[in-house]
Structure 1
């Protein structure tokens, strides 16, 4: 009941509630933490943050349990909050606690503040209680606990000795069967002062000690106990402790605590069944009152330590030893028989719950019981006086009642101070004192205890001038006394045997177990048995469900086997290879069953009944049989067909690849599983045989399983030796270096750096300025053919890769063991003078690589072009602005053109800075020191330099010289001053300046003449190395052309404004340009077409330097097209000017022509023509040309034609007036006949009379001048 009271005590409930709350908090942190947050932040989402908070909760629990100051928990909580929640703290638009360094700094500052606060609290505590500092100091001076291990070993050895027979039992007997009686022997601890006779009391107790060493010590003087000794009696075990634990309690605290810990460790349930507190009569009577209180306090403390540490309620027996030290004791009790001496002489009190009395009641009760003992001695004293004949013995006996009375009073005081109940512990609810007993284990005669309260002793002390403070003094007897029997004292033991056998041993069940440990063990046993029962139920349930699941599984497998058998029969009957994929799939997935994980089945499938492993092994065997028996022959057949096809094609690479695959499939050499799978899959995909498998990964999985088996060639066919020999013979036609070079490239394909693009070379973010020609096959330089690709990949991996490929090539060609290829590839050094020969195959491979390297770069550089339409506008071309942008960019400090050329020069220079023969120098200087390996390395380096120079660097020497100014090979190529590259950049900068000025002139309407420097530079670039001819020339020519076009466009705007308007106002739609009654004025005609007229003057000022007039038709210089036809107008005006303006230096119209009359009708006697007062007549005389100049009159022009005789006045005469009368007359002809000489004959009908008039001189380049006028169009007219 008291235990339940303690459980439901307020303090215990508070602790339990705190622990439960901490447990619930930990569970909430772990389970609900990931869902805790604010907004989108989840601080406890990670496992680390939750673990940190759980550790914090446990730390808080420990702090509460140990009653640490509250600021420690607050500091830890604040530090954890800053570390976990700090990164999610948003202040403004930043997260100030996101960096780890900031959080560590804040946490460090908090810890420093907490440390200072703790020091301040410590200073305040020391101020109020300075003894705390003494405690700290005493801890440092704590004495060494040297005997603690001996004490623990004594208890451990005792427990081991007791349980020795139990260890021979089986585990089942120890765990299930009841304990043996030997295990239930009571344990008693003996406490007492030094020289109290504790060991002597045990030896004189009449107990049977089966241990020979202990039995031998019975009846002999007891040795002083060093610390602890266990006495093994048949009825009990006595733990005899040293008196120093009582007499010197503060000198050996470690040993005492070790003793208690050992008892609690090895006997956790009922550590002891009782305690015997022993002190001698001299210890009580020979001490002062203060010393008695000290003795009582020490004993009370030790009893309390036993009760608190061991957690056991046990009876305490107070044993007052060495009663024989009282004068008259031996004489008074020597008449007792042996049976009477074995009796108990003392007081026994009731033990148990409710037995506790108040301190005064306990003392009175003890005194009452002692009074009974005193009365008995007094009552029998007269009889004993009469029985004794020796007066000396009678004198001694006479003082015994008084001495015993004095002793009993002191014992009552000491026992009362040890066992009175306390209201601050459990002693108030029960009593520990079982009894107080007096004994004497032996009766030595060399000491005597004299009562200082008697009259004789007071007189003696007065005479001796002594003032004893103790009740009695222990006086040593004179040495001269003669004793008849020296060892008689060890022959009698008073009041011990029944005390131990009938009281102490039989009270073994009075001690209460350690309820906490008993409850724990009972709970453990209950849980253990419950667990066993539950385990049995779970196993039975598991066996049942496992049996059902596995039975259903086997039934399903049986159905699959039946279906698989039908598929096999179909395949055998039809020989349809398309059924093989389904057959393989069925056999592979034969063990599959629902959601069952074959390799890791669930628990309800196990319990020793799982059959999936057996089914899996059988299905794998069947699956492998199908793979090896059905799929492998198809693979072999396909490999043979592929090899034959490659041989028919004659391509060495294909033959080698298929031969290697063929040999792999037919088990020749070591199997490269991944290569065999990839090559087989590729062949089947090309032949279309993968279609029945639906997906490639399914077929690859079958191949992987096939080649994974060690015996995959069990049913394989034999290799076709003839086919292999023929393929090998075709491969040997090609030299070894060519074969190995291609495979070296394939082997390093995964390690090559990124391809080198124009963007990287020019250091531009995009292809802004440069592009590649449309016919270019490659858009970038492969990474293998760059400087990094050579030094970081090809050069490093060529030598080791070459050795592996050599072995592979020797295996494929069937030369393994012959050593020919190996000898060809093994580095050889043969010195002839200063010449060192290196492996020729390696040299050839390097040469092939460098040739391809140079080929890639030549092709790439030759295809680089300048990009057009860089500045793309929505409304048209950018024109000169684009050229200015290009020139500015290319001539800038970080010029993309310079970057491109420098990078190209660097990438095409693989040789090092020192091009000298390091081999020869080193061999001359150190030839006696270098070994063969060093010579081979130097020889290879020399060969490498030579090949790099001959095969690559010399090919690009012009480019290197253009960039660096030197043809020598260097690693870096800075564009220094004085090089052709720097000059080019300077020229481009000048052109940029000129075009800027020119563009500004165009915008301002005062364009300047274009310089021919751009064209000269473009022409010079044709002699420069690639890619400059395709970059500089097109750039400058395009710029020049676009500038000219801009200037022409500007000029065309002036034509429309200055000439077009005048032309349309004065000439357009007028005769003679069109057939119209409106006629153009001669003055307007002359002003427009004459020399230095409007058309001629504009052309000379604005277009003469831009137009090539030597071509027909006229065209702009620089291949600029005439988009609006303005040049045609100026060309026609020039033709009109040459045809019409022949007078006054080309400023006036003047036409000179000849007139003849090849035919005249006979009815006409005379024909008269009048051209501005110039008369021409013909009257059938000989034909002779007549020269006429027109116009003769600047005022008005008239042309008349009259035929005589006149038939009718209106029909025989024709007259035309106006500035263009001549052309009116020409247009009035009835017909025009072309003559053999190219002249035109005009046919006129005058009154039906025909007159043919031939006019020569009015043609311009075999065209009539009138046609020139008819074809003329003003600017802007369609």
Structure 2
């Protein structure tokens, strides 16, 4: 089969063009519909009145494109499928001569150039006239350029000389019986292997004339040469590929194959693949018939394997080459059936026999007709037809999936555009309503000039609308693809209102106030100061450089002064506005009055109001809105100083005059609060929007000003707490920048200064829009805590508990500083101090901010020294009172030590491991707070693991296991129960008896008893023994004492069957008897490893 790539490319490009056109048309339709919706609402475009027509056209266009795509991809299957159907028609190659070989292979190449999935290393040796097909095969094979380039470099004559030299070297090596290859041969193999290490080698094909091989020694030399060659490949590649030998006559094949099949080393190394004869001439008809018969014979044996290969490739891995070596299959079919099966697997494994496989001939020059017959056979194969049908089905599914995915993407895009512009319509509608309300308010002021209007009622609505346009349009409308023309038209409308209504009203208001104060209207200084003061409030929120130029000109025109004659004054006002501050003159009464009016107006509350308006229009919380505004947020709160990072605002009035207070910029204050929230995670209230409100509310009153600076400072930089020790490393004391108790008292005093009853302006109430705003101020939980609000139940308030604990720590530390570190009183103080710290750790999670992080830091810094104190306290308690007793009772005592005659008495055993013993009492009373006994194995708790060692913990855990094994019901004395039964006796033993104390277990040929025995027995004369009777009684093992049963088992061979079940065998004088012992319990008493590894250790 010859695949028509040009047709496939043509229809693929058409298909791609259809998809791209459809997606592009859908996006354009969505854009036209969205813009039409916006323009229709405001009437700024002639097409706005035809919105519904535009929408209808867009829908029709989408449906039209969908229909075309459906018709082309579903109904017109022939576009992409007819070509595939034509592909299975075999193309008849009309190549008959060697001169057309290159053209033949170029026509049949089919994707061989880019597929590098294998490598065939072809080495043709000893051919005086190498076949011209060899370089063609090499060029087509992936990565075959290695030898092809060598061929091109040398030319045909040079190649023959090169291969002849290698052949001569090989023959010389064989004749001389040398076991190593010559340098030329080794160099060729090394170069090839070195340059192919990055790709897998599928096979190694060797062709040569072995007619000179006549005896056994020569065959051995060939074997050694091939083995050395494959070792070179294994060294370079890491594995040995199959080797295929191409032989010329049947006699050589017979001798070669018989010899190499008998060599196990070659078989183990997979050196022999197939030996294939090569003939000089080809009969096309005979080969075609021979090929058909051969494949039909093999099909029965390898049909399942070929089908598996076809399914594995399934069209995903295109074949890269199919090497075929013609041979006389009919003559050698029965003799080499197994080799033919291997050859079929070799072909299917490399090419998979898919429909587009390329067939390449090798070793002879006139194989074109054979290739033709082979291609015809492959095309007519049933498995190949099924493979082609499967490929078509997969293509059809891929096309359908692409269409559905395109439709889904287009639908989602249209939905997103619809949502965005629908939200834009709602926002612009609300904005238009606010603009209309402002226009109406200002028109009313113009119609009734005699009516008194305050500056707040004039400035606030106009600032609100202009601020919305200036800030929101920049951040929101621009993101929603609304054009600059629409925004410019809205701003121009607003500026016209400002020029018409705002400036005359400001001048009128100024004139009225100047007359009230008795100041002459012509006073330049007074007018300059007042005008700068009010316009700073009104203008800095909205003025750009262009707006500033226009406003300054309008001010002078309104005041009746010529702009050209007052250029200096205009520059001063512009510079004043840019600098963002006003000159302070203490002797100016007007400035003092304006200063008080500014305080009443509450800049912070108005800024909060604007911030809330912005956040509502944007659909964001004030917290998010302030982060979006970023550095420009400081324009909302006060006057800007571009050259600094702080504001200067008029401060508190004092007898000495006006004081200038520097406070953080608004954005810096927000960032400080954000930093505090991230560090301590407790400052943000439940409602995120209240955080920005609280900060602004705090700045709105001068009482809050200093207080908030103080609290923010100590929140970000809490008091440093360090815990150090004296020279002996055993005492604890704290060093603080300020005493903690005094600091808490200072917080309580400062909190009491907050004027909770301060009257809030109407703007502030409007901004907060809640009645309980006083409860939302910063550190409300801290104030409640310091007011000693009673908790539920009979417990003390948290503040009383905290002050009690801290007072106790300070007192204990003071006493430890003067106490003797070696006295018992010092150890008692340390124990009490540890108890206070445990109470503090339990109370810390319930504390409010910022007390909780302070206490956590205090405890964390105290851990190293506390660990030393805990280790010393526990070590003194254990080492002084218990370690010596434990060491004395267990050292060189059975069962803790083998091969010793001394035993631990049962009373001493109970004193150590009993329910009220030394280990149980110390674990429950002293060790429990520091050990997690519920885990297996035991482990120190996190707070204790850094200063207590693991060996001491193992000692207490083993002691607990011993207690559970011997005191299972909390008895006063150790006890256990074991069931004993004798196994079948051998023929030379009539009776066997195991006696433990007064209890005996006997066995005979007629009866085996199972007896329960209790122990250990508190009797030094207690004995255990094993007796057998043959012709007389024989004692083969015995032991005395309370641990006699354990000692008796030590004399036998003990084998553990299950957990708690053992088999013990006793042997003497050629006679042996076995018993089964069952200690089954949750914790079996007989555990030699536990008892023998127990050792007493210290804690220090």
TM-score for the superposition, normalised by structure 1 = 0.29
Higher relative contact order (CA 8 A, sep 6+): 2
- Which protein has the larger Cα radius of gyration, Structure 1 or Structure 2? 1
